[in-house]
Each structure stands twice: as structure tokens, then as C-alpha cells.
Structure 1
Amino acid sequence: MGVELTVLHWIYLAFIVFIIGFMIARKDTSLICIIGIFLLAATATHSLSAAISGVFNSFIYAITELLPTILVISIIVAMSKVMTTTGINDVMISPFIRFIRTPGWAYWTIGILMMIISWFFWPSPAVALMGAVLLPVAIRVGLPALGAAMAMNLFGHGIALSGDFIIQGAPKLTADAAGLSVSEVISASVPLVFVMGVVTTVAAFLLLRRDMKRGHFANETNEVAATADEAIEKAKQLLSNQAKNMLAIIIPILFVLDVIAMFYLRLQGGDATALIGGTAIFILILISIFAYKQESFSEITNYLIEGFQFGFKVFGPVIPIAAFFYLGDAGFVKIIGEHLPKLSQGIVNDLGIALAHVVPLSDGVGAVTLAIVGAITGLDGSGFSGISLTGAVAHLFATAIGGGAATLTALGQIAAIWVGGGTLVPWALIPAAAICGVDPFELARRNLVPVAIGLVVTTIVAMFLI
């Protein structure tokens, strides 16, 4: 027997349906989330002032929960910006250019490097770096610009971002909504990220190679962004080659030491994020001092401002939807107060228990549903704005099934980010498409079949892991 469902439960469930509907219609969900928070608070407290305050307090709660993630991403983007401006990124990548001798080697080298860089710096800065340094080399050996863009998307915005093992922004959002620890979601996501990544990238490569043999790219005009040469020329004026070489060695060593420290000191979640973020701050300061000397005081501030602008721009749409889904669990009491029934285990838990009594769900139904919900939440082109929903739905289904919460959460996260994080939705593909000089709609069309195959296989694998 579960707790009796109240009006609060039905309002919450109705707004989950509304949010999914808005996402399918490619409409922004911020307003619908704010209305949902207001109605839940008004219904619980029977007070207009408390309901209005509840909306604001829910935003404060969401920002407080997300602030470490927003902060570390902002700092890493600031560090990436100074590395790109000074040309250190170019030096770090240059040893790998020797591996790019054939179109196949170009595809896999660009992809694997993009994945590694995206784990530490996120895909957005990595796209600019790969486009400026490796794209011209890849095109010279015969890889179409579209193939390079696919590699950047699938490995960076797909594999690296959907797992997000180092920065842990994505698993933090989904874990909070599902009532799990970040480490549980990351552990469950490892096999799914691996399966999704291998299946998708191999399928994409085989289809690309088939079309290259058929001559589909024979007439491609290889016009690569002309701004790369300008940026490299400017970078030469800021740092000597000796300084760039030295810093290009020090920076990877510092991050490798961070990863080693995470394993040996068993740092996870916030502690691991803090270590990466702190290291990035010191790298930003170090590079700025070498490059700008007396002007480094103001330049460090400028780079931090750029980073924070990026961080809040990315997470701006996430805060309202996260605020709503935090109400499904412990956040309700902290934001609105003790207004749930005495036997309630949280709105989402209550709904899950009720669902289990009404519909006998199976592992297969749960996995397919989470993959579909995740894909729908990605349709807004953010990848991040809706993953709190996947965590909440995973929690609901896991309660009904009787387990598998971490696997379902990881599956929803992977589906959401692969669709919306920059592999399928055309307006999310613009950065990579612009850098490579290709049509974002053509890039989305190219990614569609491999990503669809990957999602199907990954969902089937998830059924056996629940």
C-alpha cells in the first residue's frame, strides 16, 4: 500500500506531461515550469504570497544545487579561451598531426582527441580547437569536412558529454532528480556510454566510407575557416615558442595528476569537480602571467567574465526546469514546507508506487520509455535543460519496477544528450558545422542513422542491466 495521491501529485504529473508536450513542439519550457512551481506552492500553502515566494525560493534552491557545476564549467571555458588565444592548444595537438595520413586515421584521430579534450574542457571549446588545428590537415588527406564535423559531434557532444565523467555536470543533474548519488549514475552509465559510443561511431564511419567510395564528396569545396591563421599569428605575439612548449607539457600533466588523485583519494562528485576547477583556475592564472605580464591582472578578470557569461548562458534554461523537478523529491520540503501527506515518500516516489499498483511494468518497458523520454527532452537543442526530467521519470519507473534506478537514469541522460547536446538537432550543431564550413541540416541528417542505431542497441543492453 502506498500513500494516497493528492492534488499535488496530480498537478506534478500533469506538468510533466505538459513539459514533454512543449519539448515535442520545440517550445521553451521555462514558463510552463514556473507555472507548475506556482500552482504546487499555491495548492500546498493556500497562500498567494507563499506561492509567489515559492517560485523565487525554488530558483534559489536550484541555483544553489547547480552552482558548483556552473562554476567549474565557467572556469574551464575561461581557461580554454586563454589557451586558444595564446596558441598553447595548437602546440598540445601538433604531435598528433603525424597520425593523420588517411581519411580513416583523420576521422578516428579527430574523434578520439575531441573526446579526450571534451572530457576535461567540454565540447564547445574543443570544437574551435579541432577546427583550427586538425581540420585543414584532415581535408588534405581526403577526409570530407562533413566527416570531420561528424567525428567532432559524435565523440565530443555525444560520447564525452553524455558520460561527462570528469566535470560531472550531466550526472549531477540527473542524479539529483532521481534521488541518487552522482557516483551511482556514473558507474551505471559507463557500459551504456561505451556501447552507445562504439556502435554509433563505427556505424557513422562505415556509412561515411561507403559514400566516399561512391564519390558523393568528389566535388566538395574545401574552404576552411580563414580565421584560424589570424588566431595563430596573434598567438605568436603573446608567448614565445619555448614558453608555449613548456606550458603545453605542464597542463596535461596537471590534469593527469588530478585524475590519479581522484582514484587514489577516492574523490567523487563535488570533491572531484572542485579539484578540476581549482586546477583550471591556477592554469588560467599561470598562462595569463606568462602571456600578459603586467596586464595579467585585468586579463585574468576578463577571461573569467567570458567564462561566467558562457556558463550562465548554457544553464539559464536549465534552472527553471531543475527548480520544478527538485520539487519531486526532497526539494519540496526545503522550498515549500511540510505540506505533503504524512506517509509520503516524495511526490515522485508516491507516483511510482501508485504506478506499480496500476500497471505491471517490465524492465523492457522502463528502458524503452526512458530512451524515448530522454530523446524528447533533447529536442530543444540544449541536451541539458531536460535531463532533470529523465532523472525524475527514471525514479518513478524504478520505484514501480522495483530497481534499476541508476541504469534507467543513465539511459535517459545518454538519450537526451546524444539527441540535444549536439548530434541530431540542427540548431545545436551550428558550432561544429560553422567551424567545418558545412550545412548543419546536412550534418544532422548524416548523424541520424548512426545515432538511431546506437540508441536502439544501447536501450536493449540497458534492459539486461536493470
Structure 2
Amino acid sequence: MLVSLNSLHWIYLIFILLIIGVMIRKRDTTLVCILGILILGVVATKSLPLAVTGVFNSLIYAITELLGTILIISIIYGMSKVLEATGISEVMISPFTRFIKTPTLAYWIIGILMMVISWFFWPSPAVALMGAVLLPVAVRVGLPAIGVAVAMNLFGHGIALSSDFIIQGAPKLTSESAGLPVGDVISASIPLVITMGVVTTIIAFISLKKDMKSGKIKVQENDTNIALFSNEEETEGDIVKTRLSNKTKKTFAIIIPILFILDLFIMIRLNLQGGDATALVGGTAVFILILISMFTYKNKGMEQITEFLITGFKFGFQIFGPVIPIAAFFYMGDMGFVSVFGEVLPEMSEGLVNDLGVALAHAVPLNDFVGAITLTSVGTITGLDGSGFSGISLVGPIARLFSTAIGGGVATLTALGQVAAIWVGGGTIVPWAVIPAAAICGVDPFELARRNLKPVIIGLIVTTIVAMFII
């Protein structure tokens, strides 16, 4: 049924366009989102005090919806820091160094290993885990540091982060904003992630080999002399690492992957998805953090558990700080508006976004091609802030809007927007987003972003075309 659009719908649409415009200008969207919620509240309730209260309640609503995602990422990061501090992470990775014999093997082994580790630990900590051990090995066999950075970027911040199959931070965020089960978005993303990953990594590899052959890029003398930490931190880290024997580190290095593999087996056996699957991984990570902290720090273990958790929570809220206001605004496009402001929507309304989608379907002739191009464009724009996560709440409502107009494909459109947003902003082609990998490898972040640009753009074009045929 076509619901008559009122001022709330038009205000919401105007602020969506304003947010996109602000993102294009590479400015922060928090102020625009909060003003949007305030104005919607004033119009809906005819009361400034209630609207101001609604702004705060909308943030609470967003945090409540996102809390599981924030917690899992925080806990995983905290666990990764204890693995890094004790040297267990180095032992986990070191067996793979014996297979790195040529630049080609270095590129693909580092990339695939980065992807797998990033699925379990997220790319940010995975970069540090990988760089310390595998960068010197890769350089020694002839792969320049820029090649290592490209591999870690594309496989970690690209493939792993845009799919996020294990931790499910990204698909949970986009699925909730689109009103879908997280499993639907993950399933729809698989062909898109495979297409994007294959195209970008192969093109990047061909470009690297071509430039290495011509001498345009080559191993530099300082590639292996990269300081990952300050002297004080390095000394302290070395002291901590000596507290565990090599045998103990190897034991933990075997136990930890086994525990996560058991998690995967349990997920498949019990058909756990979404929050249940996330909780299983998160709980496992908590107990790994506790076990290693107590085993390593003995009497100070209880305090160290808290320290590592605090480190994780700082990271989690730093990542999601910019996400919460924009998520709060876009949750207002769904029935979250009713939760915050009460029953103020028009009769028979299914949410502002759905109403706009139905109206759009009656006003404009849309098709799969227009929908796919639009979602890729929106995802790309939201990624320009260099976060990848701060704007992906936008792709869900827009995917629903277009899917309503074209009669289906909401999961594929949502997944497409997610893939585009994270490949652009998650750390592959925005210079200020690639800094972690660039710093670890000692390369210029702008050079790294330039080298990733062509493969990522071609990948987005091919992936969008594939999406058009599967919507």
C-alpha cells in the first residue's frame, strides 16, 4: 500500500543527501546526523524537550544495537595484544616462512595468511602480527616492502574485512540497518567478495611483477630495518616474551587455532549464526586472553587481564565512535523511530525508508542495473572518510529503498554496498586509512594507496556488473 509522504519523509531524505554530500567533502557527519535526529524529533513530537531527549535516546538505541559488534571486536583485539606481547603470535606464523621461497610465493602466502588471520583477529592487529615475522622473509626472497604492504592491504583490509565471515562485525551492521538476518547478507556477499578479491589481487600482482621486472620498484636497503615499536616498548616486550619457554609458546600456538576451528565446527553443527556465532567466538577469545595472561604474568595476571581488556575496549570504541551517531540517524529510518519517539509515523507506515522506497517505485522506472550502480556509488562515497565502518549503516536503508522499488535483491544490494564501502574506506585506497600497513612495511602511504587504486576500481566495476545479474 502506498503511504502518503509527509514532512518526516522529506526531512529524512534531505538529510540522507546532506550526509552523502558531507562525506564527499571528506568531512565528519556527526553534526549532520544529530541535527537530523533533532529536527525529525521536533517535527514528530512538536516538542523541543522531547526532541532533545530523543537525540540521546537514539544514541542509546544505536549503542544497544551495536554493542555486540563493539564487544566482539574489542575482545578480539585485546586477545591479539596478549598474543603479540607474549610472542605466541610469532610462533603461530613462523611455520609458514619455510614456504616463502620466491617473490610470487611471498605475495600469495602473505596475502592468504593475512586474510585467514584477519577473519579471526581483524586486520588491524593482524598487520602487526604479520609484519614483524613475514616482512623480513619476503624482502629476503626479493619481494619489495611495497609488495608486502599491497598483499596485506588487499587480502586483509579488503577481502577479509569486507566479508568478515567469522567476527561478523560488518555484515551485522549492514544487515541490521537493512532489517535482514545477518546470514542473508553473508550468503549474498560470497560471490561478490570472491569476484572482488580475485580481480583485485590478480591485477595488483600482475602490476607488481611488471614493475619489478622493469626495475621501477625493487628491494631497498632499509626495507628490513623497520622499527615497529619504540626502544622502551621493544625492551619491555622482549622481557615479557622470555617469560614463556619456546615449548610453551608452541603449545599455545597449536591450542589457539584448534579452539577456533572447534568454534567453526560447532557453528556448522548447531547452525549458529549472527549473534550466537559471534558470542561463541567472543567467549572463546575471552578465555584465551585469561589463560595466557594468568600463565604468563602469574601473580599479576589478574591485573593484566583487565589491562588487555581495557586496551581492547579503547580500540573498539575508537573504531565505532564515529559510527554511533550515523547509525543512530539511520536506525530512525526503520521502526527504531517508533522506539525513540513513539507512534508518530503515518498509519500503515513501515518506516521512513520503506515508505520512500514504495514512493520511488511508483515515481521512477528503476531496474537491477541502476540499483547496483547506486549501491556501489553510495558504498564508495561512505568509504571516503577512511573508516569503512562509519558509513555502512547508510547502505542498508538505501538497499531496502531500491529493492522495494525493483521488487527484490535487498540482500545482494546491501552486500554490494558493504563490499564497496569497506574496500574503499577500510584501508586499501584512502591514504589515511592505509597508514597501519604502510607504517609496518615502512612505505609511503600515498604510494601504497596509488598502487591499490587501479586494482580496486577495476574490481568494483566487475563486482558491480556481477551483482546486476544476481539481484
- What runs of 5+ residues in structure 1 fail to find an aligned partner? none
SS of aligned partner of 2:216: coil
**Amino acid corresponding to residue 92 of structure 1 in structure 2:** M
Aligned to 2:390: 385
Aligned to 2:32: 32
SS of aligned partner of 2:242: helix
Partner of residue 360 from structure 2, selected from 318, 343, 355: 355
Deviation at 1:219, TM superposition (A): 6.5
1:433 aligns with 2:429: no
d(CA) in 1 for partners of 2:302 and 2:260? 24
Aligned to 1:130: 130
**Amino acid corresponding to residue 66 of structure 1 in structure 2:** L
1:239 aligns with 2:244: yes
d(CA) in 2 for partners of 1:97 and 1:205? 20
1:20 aligns with 2:3: no
Q: Is the 8 A contact 1:116 1:160 kept in 2?
A: yes
Deviation at 1:218, TM superposition (A): 3.4
Relative to structure 2, which stretch is displaced further, 62-71 or 216-225? 216-225
Partner of residue 422 from structure 2, selected from 399, 417, 421: 417
Deviation at 1:220, TM superposition (A): 2.8
Partner of residue 323 from structure 1, selected from 319, 328, 335: 328
Q: CA-to-partner distance for each residue in 1:44-101, whole Å, 9 max, x for gaps?
A: 0000110000000000000000001100110100000000000000000011001110
d(CA) in 2 for partners of 1:150 and 1:430? 12
Q: Is the 8 A contact 2:178 2:414 kept in 1?
A: yes
Q: Is the 8 A contact 1:224 1:436 kept in 2?
A: no
Deviation at 1:237, TM superposition (A): 1.8
d(CA) in 2 for partners of 1:133 and 1:330? 49
1:300 aligns with 2:300: no
Q: CA-to-partner distance for each residue in 1:390-437, whole Å, 9 max, x for gaps?
A: 111101000000000000000000000000000010000100000000
Q: Is the 8 A contact 1:81 1:125 kept in 2?
A: yes
1:395 aligns with 2:396: no
SS of aligned partner of 1:341: coil
Aligned to 1:225: 226
- What runs of 5+ residues in structure 2 fail to find an aligned partner? none
**Amino acid corresponding to residue 97 of structure 1 in structure 2:** T
Give the TM-score taking structure 1 as reference length.
0.99
Q: CA-to-partner distance for each residue in 1:182-220, whole Å, 9 max, x for gaps?
A: 011001001100110011101100111011000012373
Aligned to 2:75: 75
Q: Is the 8 A contact 2:142 2:219 kept in 1?
A: no
d(CA) in 2 for partners of 1:74 and 1:296? 19
Identity, % of aligned positions = 70
Q: CA-to-partner distance for each residue in 1:296-332, whole Å, 9 max, x for gaps?
A: 0101000000000000000000000000000111201
**Amino acid corresponding to residue 100 of structure 2 in structure 1:** I
The alignment yields a C-alpha RMSD, in angstroms, of 1.1
**Amino acid corresponding to residue 358 of structure 1 in structure 2:** A
**Amino acid corresponding to residue 86 of structure 1 in structure 2:** T
Aligned to 2:106: 106
1:10 aligns with 2:10: yes
Q: Is the 8 A contact 1:377 1:385 kept in 2?
A: yes
1:454 aligns with 2:459: yes
Q: Is the 8 A contact 1:132 1:225 kept in 2?
A: no
User: Structure 2 matches for 1:198-347, cutoff 5 A?
Assistant: 198-218=198-218, 220-221=220-221, 222-227=223-228, 230=234, 233-347=238-352
Aligned to 2:144: 144
d(CA) in 2 for partners of 1:137 and 1:219? 12
User: Structure 2 matches for 1:83-122, cutoff 5 A?
Assistant: 83-122=83-122
Q: Is the 8 A contact 1:131 1:436 kept in 2?
A: yes
d(CA) in 2 for partners of 1:176 and 1:286? 34
Aligned to 1:185: 185
Give the TM-score taking structure 2 as reference length.
0.98
Deviation at 1:345, TM superposition (A): 1.3
Partner of residue 468 from structure 2, selected from 444, 463, 466: 463
SS of aligned partner of 1:385: coil
**Amino acid corresponding to residue 274 of structure 2 in structure 1:** G
**Amino acid corresponding to residue 123 of structure 1 in structure 2:** P
Aligned to 1:41: 41
Find runs of 4+ consecutive structure 1 residues off by over 4 angstroms.
none
Deviation at 1:226, TM superposition (A): 2.9
Deviation at 1:223, TM superposition (A): 4.1
d(CA) in 1 for partners of 2:144 and 2:341? 55
d(CA) in 2 for partners of 1:401 and 1:139? 51
Partner of residue 443 from structure 1, selected from 434, 441, 448: 448
Q: Is the 8 A contact 2:85 2:241 kept in 1?
A: no
d(CA) in 1 for partners of 2:209 and 2:225? 21
Q: CA-to-partner distance for each residue in 1:225-276, whole Å, 9 max, x for gaps?
A: 2347947733432211111011000000000000010000000000000000
